[in-house]
Structure 1
Amino acid sequence: MTRQQPVDETGFLLTRQALDRQGRCELQFWVTTQAGPALLRVPDHEPLFFLPQAQQAQAEILLQVHGLAARFRPLALKSFAQQPVSACYLPSLSVEHRARTLLRQHGLALLEADVRPVDRYLMERFITAGVRFCGEASVHAGYREVRVTQLAPAEHAWQGRALSLDVECAPDGRLLCVGLCNQGWHTVIMVGAPRPSPADVKIEWVADERSLLLHLGACLRQQDPDLLLGWNLVNFDCRLLLRRLELHGLAADWGRAGQLARFWPSAEGKDTGTLLLPGRVAVDGIAALKSAGMHFDSYALEAVARQVLGEGKDLQGTAEHQREQAIVQWHQQDPVQLACYNLQDCRLVWELFDRLALLPFLQRRAQLSGLALERPGGSVAAFSHLYLPRLHRRGYVAPDRPQGPITPSPGGYVMDSVPGLYRHVLVLDFKSLYPSLIRTFAIDPLALVEGMLRQQDTIPGFLGARFAPEVAILPGLLAQLWQARDQAKAQQDAVLSQAIKLLMNSFYGVLGSPGCRFFDARLASSITLRGQWLMQQSRLWLQEQGYQVIYGDTDSIFVWLTPEQVSDPVAQGKALAAGINDYWRQRLVDEFGISSCLELQFERHYARFFMPTIRGQEQGSKKRYAGLVSSAQGDELIFKGLESIRSDWTELAKQFQQGLYWRVFHDEDVAAFVQQMVRQTRQGELDHWLVYHKKLRRPLAAYQLSQPPHVKAAIKLEAARQAAGLPPLYSRRGEIAYYQTLAGPEPVGHRQHAIDYQHYIDKQLRPVAEAILPWIGVSFEGLAGEQLSLF
């Protein structure tokens, strides 16, 4: 019998799950500690949900008739409808699921029935990621198992170990090799006969796919990582590995303590879903980038690595079907080269996670929000984790998610722009506008409930909303986060600052999302409409001071300094921001009797600024502009919404726009540059800039009524793949790279006809030029026509 040892330690949560054991629900939490991994077990846990006390008797009868054990307890809590509620406790997950289904079928109003037991257990104890655990521990090979007596929040420094993983396979899904690496160690498990390899490339040769899977499992147990890193790791690599394990009749026992890995398909389809790997966390690089608010034109490993690291894969620029063929050919003829390619993918993933500080970001996010490390998105879950326990302590339980038609809330205020080419434009920006509005006007689900009940001593919102500030939860949460972010900035902790910013900004999106149980059009509208009012009134104040506002968008105001007004633009910008802040502090006291949490900042001075018109119209555009910022480090071009930063325009348009605007903003002659770009395009010198990259948002077969150019290119590529005996690429969605030729769009790697250079001149160069050249009295037609007459 294993000797039990008392423990009182801290750890960092890795995975969490609830399962039934011998008819009782048990919660299991894997944590990483200074002494290694530990499995925390909470046996005999009772899942629960709430329902109105008036329905308790009916629920008891229904459950008893159907043989479902349950116990009820009236609580000193009430619903948003002011009904006292009871808690219904169930012995197991299976019974809880059957009870929920039965009671809902009979029309009973269940509350918080969708909250998972593991999440409720953590949130009610205010545990996010760091945890203190007490109990009795038994020691096993590679881990400890703790029967928990107490679990509480704690600070815990991350002690985890990571391992990068990448799979290479044949088009039919057959595994060819799997690469693994971390800091200072790597291996490639390769199917095939042993061959000599370089000293810096370790290859472990196996006879067949089954042996590869067994060897990979042994490697995972030996390395014992807390984290698996990869690119499209869950929905491709791990899903494929689990399928191949099933095909060979092998157990997916790659979790710690031999626990089984499971993949749950999402509602969108079987190719995407969620992975549970007990004791280990599978972190996908693409999801991590998006969670951290990092945007790329393409999230392919090759594209991100080139942009961030300046290096990529050995098959750069190779079309997808050619890459597949090259991998198979390498495996047959030169498997060592395939091993190098496989290992390069592993290393690129490792270096990207390191360079972009993705793991520290995910750790900070988990510590702030309670979200699992690997979870993509999760704004609604994070909001619930923070809000629900505080709501319960105020005497309420939360409503179910809204059903039926949803009244949409208006968006942020976007002012009509005044198009033109300007000198000296100041940008003033409200710091975290929506969070500051929530704090200032007590915009909060509970404050709305209480405010609507009494009306008196409340703050008005929109759509008839009233908010009771003294019971509001969100303003206090945001104030804590705000203070923490200011401290993170002072300590130059950019990772923590970004995590806090994203969490704070997500609160508005959650309140405006029908997927959130607290969605109410009065909440979201009281934020956005108050923001619109704020922007309009700020614009009026600036105009009363004699300044011209040429544009505004959600939280930013663009002010043009006329030649007579210019003195020291930076000092003027700071003075204007301070003036508006003083104005709002006084006005909010006078009008509402509340303190202002609003903070307008001077953000930027554009030495030159261009606001275009809507293409083909005289009306100014919105969310599209460009400017030149001068600093001690030099001049910088900034584009918003224009071709230079749009992924659906070619590199030709982007390079042309940047070069043209640079010359216009510096008052340089543009004629020679425009003519050179037209000449080089027509002579084929810029073919490497002519590739279109477009995404198919639907499966290719769904494009029946309309087939835009990128769809036509994809159809041609699919035909080529079929002829080569390769599986389709676009049965769901995907991205296509193609040229526009004299015979129409043709995919990269399958171009059969000459490039249509006139198309690129008319559709890529001309629109860019005609947006700005008239403002300096120059015609693209005049310059290009003169150039084209030479051919």
Structure 2
Amino acid sequence: MRARFWLLDIDQSEGGSQVIRLWSIINGEPSILLDGKFRPSLYLLLEDGVDPLQILEAVQERSKDVDVNLKVEDSKLFGKMVKLIHVDCSCSTPLQELASNISRIKGIRGQLLDDVRPSMQYILYGRCSPSSWNEAELTRVEDIGGYKVYMVEEVYGPREDPQPPLKLLAFDILSLSETGSPNPDRDPIVALSVADGDGVKLFEAEGERGEALVIKDFMEYVAGLDPDVIVGFNSNRFHWNYLIRRARRLGLTLSVTRMGGEPHQSLYGHFSVTGRANIDLRDLAEDIPEIKLKTIDGLARFLGIEAVERPIVEAMEVPEYWRETRGREFLLEYIEENARLLYAIAGEALPFIVQLSSLTGMPMDQVLAAAVGFRVDSYLMREALRIGEIPPRREERPYQPYRGGLVLNPKPGLHEKVAVLDFTSMYPNLMIAYNISPDTLIVGEGEVGDEDAHTIPGTEYRFRKEPPGLYKRCLLNLLEARRNIKERLRGIPPGSVEAKILKEREHAVKVLANALYGYAGWTGARWYVREVAESAAALGRATIRRAMEEAEKIGLEIIYGDTDSIFVRYDKNKVAELIEWVRRELDLEIKLEKIYSRILFTEAKKKYAGLLSDGSLDMVGMEVVRGDWAEIARRAQEETLKILLEGGEVRDAVDNVRRLISEIRAGKIPLREFVIWKTLTRPLEEYKVRAPHVEVSKRLKEKGWRLEIGDKVGYIVAKGDGKIYERAVYYPEASEGDVDHEYYVENQVLPAVLRILESFNVKREALTMPKGSTLLEF
């Protein structure tokens, strides 16, 4: 039968005769498609001057016991024609083992595509697309585990239609450790929360057998719901591993996959839940620079989801809450709220994740877990194979610094009505205009005449004008796709399902196009060429300089410039004039991104804070965030910024700091606001400096605590003699009378607020004077 299937997950069956396994949705039902006809490939790169037929014979001899097909092919590598031996084999053949064996033959200087697993090659060669509708000729065979199974006879590729309804599950766990980092070999799971379309459910451990029942109930719940997508927050980094190991300790197997097995850690460090898409929404939060604190609540608020104000609870704080009845209730409500928010976040974010997956060719469980460079790699590989270009092998390279985008020194101080003008896709458009690509770079002198080459201003690099390079082809495809989407959006109702999908597709296209510039400078890129990254950066610097020169001619005051943005004193008519000039003279688009009613710059680059027209505070590079500073320092800085940006005088900000310092010295601030949280970034024995959090950790370890890399340790600095690390105390062991208030005034509050107030010539001494002292005393 000919049928449409929506590809959710892809892997390779285990056992003897292996096949590609496509976990799909057909007519609303989860189904399994098996393709035994696909043969993965590798290519052998030959040394110059060798006879390809002789090498072919040697390869045949070396691989005679393996099911392989061999042929000599002409193909492109970095834009140049090369002779390759194309080797294809069955899915059961270990690809890298085969490549290692035959690459030892004299005359072979390397192998290509052997580092790409067969299931990913299946996508790269265009047989189907993940998170998309595809069409195939199918034959029904015996069911497996209650799921319908089909053999693939022929695949016809992707089709464009709205995604089917996906069954979604969100979960969170609560583990309890009295001695440091929760250890799955020792510390139990005391509760687990889940959320689906019917609401939130809590599984709480009670009694000796309680934890085992929680895990069993969770497995039964997953089996009954049979979700297509499972989401968590920090689930790839912590929750799945913890659940698997706790289940094993209790004599259980965490059976939550569609094959009835455990999740397993896969390619990008993520956990593969076979047949389902497992998504760690922490990865989404990490991708969004506007989210300062990478928490569930921070991500929810960014997406416009209502989240109640509540404290951040670190793992080491859990026992303190758990000992008290009200604290225990608070923690249980906390993880229930986590599950509720995660379900709501997934509902908002899933359309974008689906479109990014479809566009890059990476399944949903991989596309967020993978670094941005790997997403671009996947997109480029699929496009390269489509036009007959063989992807190069990924190589380990040391970081190679190069000069980046232009960043101006800001005009320090407070400024009124400042507009931010952002170039739209500046780097992609410049790379297109100058045909900047690894395969168009001119290496030899005199190889191409000046009339046939682009020379990059400020460098000696030259690129062929023709033919279009790989980067230009891909960028043109992406920009054309974006234009087509906008055109289609004009003809459909704004609130329709189709409009929502198209907007998410447009977002995914924009993200990928803008990522290609950064990819050019990533040493892990398959197509890495340093000259390409340097050339794009040089063009960006030249472009933004021209725009700023024109802005000044028009009469706009330049306050700051950063990479592809200009900050100017806002004048509606003059800004409109500059936008038109950029369009006409530079053939680029620059748009009014935001307007600050007030903005504060320090003398440092990339450090400012502004009040937007909607009243929200926007901070870049100036944040005092938990993890480096005590809460009292963060509060002091935020209050200072709000006073200045909301129209207050410098005197008001100074008086507020003085008041806060007086409250600290009078012992009116609760202990929790003095806790400093620091993360362990290496094993304790490897620290050479006696830092406070390290010394506290060593003392806890002597008491039997288990501390790992990534754990956050909370401490306060106590009164007394000696160095800071000698006076650092694990905060639950301290009382409010122990706090060294002068330490916090001098080393936390004053440095945090002076980052701002020094721009107004306020000195440290002025902040510790009695309230009401005159500004002359500054």
Give TM class, smaller chain.
0.7 to 0.9
Q: 2:152 matched to which residue of 1?
A: 148
Following superposition, the deviation at residue 766 of structure 1 comes to 2.7
Q: Match for 2:512 among 493, 500, 503?
A: 503
Q: 1:16 matched to which residue of 2?
A: 10
CA distance in 2, matches of 1:29, 1:222: 22
On the 8 A contact 1:255/1:279 being kept in 2, the answer is yes
**Relative to structure 1, is the Cα distance of residues 317 and 599 closer, same or farther in structure 2, using a 3 angstrom cutoff?**
closer
Q: 1:699 matched to which residue of 2?
A: 683
Following superposition, the deviation at residue 161 of structure 1 comes to 0.7
TM-score by length of 1: 0.81
RMSD of aligned residue pairs (Cα, Å): 3.7
**Relative to structure 1, is the Cα distance of residues 529 and 486 closer, same or farther in structure 2, using a 3 angstrom cutoff?**
farther
The Cα offsets for residues 571-592 of structure 1, whole Å up to 9 and x where unpaired, read as 32222222233232xxxxxxxx
On the 8 A contact 1:371/1:381 being kept in 2, the answer is no
The Cα offsets for residues 453-512 of structure 1, whole Å up to 9 and x where unpaired, read as 645523334552314354231231231343267569975856555433322222122222
The Cα offsets for residues 732-754 of structure 1, whole Å up to 9 and x where unpaired, read as 22223333332533333222562
Q: 1:610 matched to which residue of 2?
A: 600
Q: 1:623 matched to which residue of 2?
A: 606
SS in 2 for 1:767: helix
Q: Match for 2:541 among 519, 526, 532?
A: 532
Following superposition, the deviation at residue 20 of structure 1 comes to 5.2
What are the equivalent positions in structure 2 for 1:523-562 lying under 5 Å apart?
523-560=532-569
What are the equivalent positions in structure 2 for 1:643-658 lying under 5 Å apart?
643=623, 648-658=628-638
On the 8 A contact 1:446/1:471 being kept in 2, the answer is no
What is the identity, as a one-letter code, of the residue corresponding to 2:482? W
CA distance in 2, matches of 1:775, 1:623: 15
SS in 1 for 2:769: helix
**Relative to structure 1, is the Cα distance of residues 579 and 649 closer, same or farther in structure 2, using a 3 angstrom cutoff?**
farther
What are the equivalent positions in structure 2 for 1:372-451 lying under 5 Å apart?
372-375=363-366, 376-403=369-396, 405=398, 407-448=400-441
Aligned length in residues: 720
Q: 2:131 matched to which residue of 1?
A: 129
What is the identity, as a one-letter code, of the residue corresponding to 2:231? L
What is the identity, as a one-letter code, of the residue corresponding to 2:547? S
On the 8 A contact 1:417/1:552 being kept in 2, the answer is yes
CA distance in 1, matches of 2:388, 2:485: 30
What are the equivalent positions in structure 2 for 1:552-591 lying under 5 Å apart?
552-560=561-569, 569-584=571-586
On the 8 A contact 2:10/2:22 being kept in 1, the answer is yes
CA distance in 2, matches of 1:209, 1:778: 58
**Relative to structure 1, is the Cα distance of residues 358 and 441 closer, same or farther in structure 2, using a 3 angstrom cutoff?**
same
Q: Does 1:39 align with 2:39?
A: no
Q: 1:566 matched to which residue of 2?
A: none
What is the identity, as a one-letter code, of the residue corresponding to 2:160? E
What is the identity, as a one-letter code, of the residue corresponding to 1:150? E
CA distance in 2, matches of 1:625, 1:710: 30
Following superposition, the deviation at residue 326 of structure 1 comes to 5.9
Q: 2:194 matched to which residue of 1?
A: 180
Q: 2:86 matched to which residue of 1?
A: 87
Q: 1:163 matched to which residue of 2?
A: 169
Q: Does 1:740 align with 2:717?
A: yes
On the 8 A contact 2:357/2:363 being kept in 1, the answer is yes
CA distance in 2, matches of 1:488, 1:33: 27
Deviates more, 1:548-557 or 1:304-313: 304-313
On the 8 A contact 1:228/1:280 being kept in 2, the answer is yes
CA distance in 2, matches of 1:577, 1:733: 46
Q: 2:474 matched to which residue of 1?
A: 474
Following superposition, the deviation at residue 263 of structure 1 comes to 2.0
Q: 1:364 matched to which residue of 2?
A: 355
Q: Does 1:227 align with 2:223?
A: no
On the 8 A contact 2:230/2:279 being kept in 1, the answer is yes
SS in 2 for 1:114: coil
On the 8 A contact 1:423/1:606 being kept in 2, the answer is yes
The Cα offsets for residues 422-454 of structure 1, whole Å up to 9 and x where unpaired, read as 344333221232223223322233444799964
The Cα offsets for residues 597-617 of structure 1, whole Å up to 9 and x where unpaired, read as x2122333444433222xxxx
Q: Match for 1:757 among 738, 741, 752?
A: 741
Following superposition, the deviation at residue 280 of structure 1 comes to 1.4
Q: 2:462 matched to which residue of 1?
A: 465
Deviates more, 1:99-108 or 1:275-284: 99-108
CA distance in 1, matches of 2:533, 2:388: 24
On the 8 A contact 1:25/1:47 being kept in 2, the answer is no
On the 8 A contact 1:229/1:350 being kept in 2, the answer is no
List runs of 5+ in structure 1 lacking aligned partners.
1-5, 194-205, 267-271, 562-568, 585-595, 614-620
CA distance in 2, matches of 1:607, 1:302: 27
**Relative to structure 1, is the Cα distance of residues 600 and 167 closer, same or farther in structure 2, using a 3 angstrom cutoff?**
closer
Following superposition, the deviation at residue 26 of structure 1 comes to 0.8
Following superposition, the deviation at residue 137 of structure 1 comes to 2.2
CA distance in 2, matches of 1:319, 1:394: 51
What is the percentage of aligned positions where both structures have the same residue? Answer: 21
Q: Match for 2:276 among 252, 276, 280?
A: 280
On the 8 A contact 2:96/2:114 being kept in 1, the answer is no
Q: 2:68 matched to which residue of 1?
A: 70
CA distance in 2, matches of 1:623, 1:77: 46
CA distance in 1, matches of 2:379, 2:227: 29
The Cα offsets for residues 18-65 of structure 1, whole Å up to 9 and x where unpaired, read as 24543x441001012333101111014322111236556436525634
SS in 1 for 2:58: helix
**Relative to structure 1, is the Cα distance of residues 88 and 56 closer, same or farther in structure 2, using a 3 angstrom cutoff?**
farther
On the 8 A contact 2:113/2:393 being kept in 1, the answer is yes
On the 8 A contact 1:79/1:85 being kept in 2, the answer is no
Following superposition, the deviation at residue 233 of structure 1 comes to 2.0
CA distance in 1, matches of 2:172, 2:752: 41
The Cα offsets for residues 296-332 of structure 1, whole Å up to 9 and x where unpaired, read as 4243x5776799643488xx576634524765x69xx
On the 8 A contact 2:655/2:771 being kept in 1, the answer is no
Following superposition, the deviation at residue 342 of structure 1 comes to 5.1
Q: 1:238 matched to which residue of 2?
A: 240
**Relative to structure 1, is the Cα distance of residues 15 and 545 closer, same or farther in structure 2, using a 3 angstrom cutoff?**
same
CA distance in 2, matches of 1:414, 1:510: 20
List runs of 5+ in structure 2 lacking aligned partners.
178-185, 721-726, 774-778
**Relative to structure 1, is the Cα distance of residues 10 and 278 closer, same or farther in structure 2, using a 3 angstrom cutoff?**
same
On the 8 A contact 1:639/1:645 being kept in 2, the answer is no
Q: 2:706 matched to which residue of 1?
A: 728
**Relative to structure 1, is the Cα distance of residues 361 and 393 closer, same or farther in structure 2, using a 3 angstrom cutoff?**
closer
The Cα offsets for residues 56-79 of structure 1, whole Å up to 9 and x where unpaired, read as 643652563464442212234233
Following superposition, the deviation at residue 211 of structure 1 comes to 5.9
Following superposition, the deviation at residue 414 of structure 1 comes to 1.1
The Cα offsets for residues 521-548 of structure 1, whole Å up to 9 and x where unpaired, read as 1211121121112122323333444544
CA distance in 2, matches of 1:371, 1:19: 19
SS in 2 for 1:108: strand
Q: Match for 2:665 among 661, 678, 682?
A: 682
CA distance in 2, matches of 1:423, 1:187: 50
Q: 1:514 matched to which residue of 2?
A: 523
Q: Does 1:660 align with 2:661?
A: no
What is the identity, as a one-letter code, of the residue corresponding to 1:91? S
SS in 2 for 1:411: coil
SS in 2 for 1:517: coil
Q: Match for 1:345 among 316, 335, 339?
A: 335
CA distance in 1, matches of 2:254, 2:752: 55
